[in-house]
Amino acid sequence: DAGVTQSPTHLIKTRGQQVTLRCSPKSGHDTVSWYQQALGQGPQFIFQYYEEEERQRGNFPDRFSGHQFPNYSSELNVNALLLGDSALYLCASSLAIDRTDRTDTQYFGPGTRLTVL
Amino acid sequence: AQTVTQSQPEMSVQEAETVTLSCTYDTSESDYYLFWYKQPPSRQMILVIRQEAYKQQNATENRFSVNFQKAAKSFSLKISDSQLGDAAMYFCAYSNTDKLIFGTGTRLQVFP
């Protein structure tokens, strides 16, 4: 049973560029959440996707956008990169509970380390 | 707004001994979930244990157990018979809808 996978593992970009990170959820899961983890900090919630729509969003600017595909995989896009966007980006998948706004336990992927120069 | 506080930036324990990591949280909700996640140097966030707020019984998973005090809004993790492989960052997290709110983490060192 494959767990959550993310690609790429590492990424180096320069300021002003755009980046796309990818996530495939654990088998059987239909919900994907994205988190940003700065060095030495706990993860911060970016947004969550369910049924191909953004269901919840944290306190992140519109430069952060996402998408969920019919197979439940997801992408995180960041435009106009800033030095402060350097972080570990974690994807977590879960299963929605009875089509409510709740999900079961979230399971994380290995993350993508983004460095902005 | 909900918050999670981990007041111990670093803890250490001797192999085979027991260690307790502390976590407090603030919420006005009555129905929520609490989690402990482990993040080793490999970076992958691994679920250690989960507690539903409506359950009075403390959750246990093998060598890991929690002390959940709902009135005090406290959720500590006890690791028994510590092993070298337990060395990692440990994050306490809260959720009442879908997003997880994390604390700042506690780095656990295990000495042989």
Confidence band (pLDDT; 50, 70, 90) for B108? very high
Taking contacts as CB-CB distances below 8 angstroms, the residues of chain A near B103 are 42
Contact yes or no for B36/B49 (Cβ under 8 A): yes
Whether chain B has a CB inside 8 Å of the CB on A5: the answer is no
Neighbouring-strand partners of residue B33? B52, B95
Question: Does the distance separating the beta carbons of A108 and B45 come in below 8 Å?
Answer: yes
Q: According to the model, what pLDDT value does residue A75 have?
A: 98
Whether chain B has a CB inside 8 Å of the CB on A56: the answer is yes
Q: According to the model, what pLDDT value does residue A96 have?
A: 80
List A residues 75-114 in contact with B (Cβ-Cβ < 8 A): 88, 90, 92, 94, 101-103, 105-111, 113
Q: According to the model, what pLDDT value does residue A1 have?
A: 65
Look at residue B75 and give its three-state secondary structure. strand
- φ/ψ region of B54 (left if φ > 0, alpha if ψ in -120 to 50, else beta) reads alpha
Mean pLDDT, consecutive 10-residue stretches, chain A (117 aa), reads 91 97 94 95 95 92 97 97 97 80 82 97
Look at residue B77 and give its three-state secondary structure. strand
Nearest to B97 among A102, A107, A110 (CB): A102
Distance of residue A101 Cα from the nearest chain B Cα, in angstroms:
6
pLDDT: which is higher, B26 or A95? B26
Q: According to the model, what pLDDT value does residue A98 have?
A: 64
- Non-local (6+) Cβ contacts of A69 within 8 A are A52, A75
Average confidence (pLDDT) over B78-98: 94
Contact yes or no for A13/A115 (Cβ under 8 A): yes
Distance of residue A79 Cα from the nearest chain B Cα, in angstroms:
23
Q: According to the model, what pLDDT value does residue A100 have?
A: 61
Q: According to the model, what pLDDT value does residue B83 have?
A: 97
Average confidence (pLDDT) over B12-21: 98
Taking contacts as CB-CB distances below 8 angstroms, the residues of chain A near B101 are 45
Handedness of CA A51, A108, A64, A17 (dihedral sign): negative
Interface test with B, best of A45, A51, A53, A68 (most B CBs within 10 A): A45
For residue B1, pLDDT beyond 90: no
Nearest to B43 among A101, A106, A111 (CB): A111
Q: Share the mean pLDDT of chain B.
A: 94
For residue B36, pLDDT beyond 80: yes
Q: According to the model, what pLDDT value does residue A101 have?
A: 59
Q: According to the model, what pLDDT value does residue B30 have?
A: 86
Q: According to the model, what pLDDT value does residue B96 have?
A: 83
Contact yes or no for A14/A115 (Cβ under 8 A): no
Taking contacts as CB-CB distances below 8 angstroms, the residues of chain B near A33 are 98-100
Q: According to the model, what pLDDT value does residue B58 have?
A: 94
Q: According to the model, what pLDDT value does residue B5 have?
A: 97
Q: Which of B57-81 are b and which e, b meaning 16 or more Cβ less than 10 Å from the residue's Cβ?
A: eebeeeebbbebeeeebebbbebee
Average confidence (pLDDT) over B94-107: 91
Q: A48: nearest CA in chain B?
A: B99
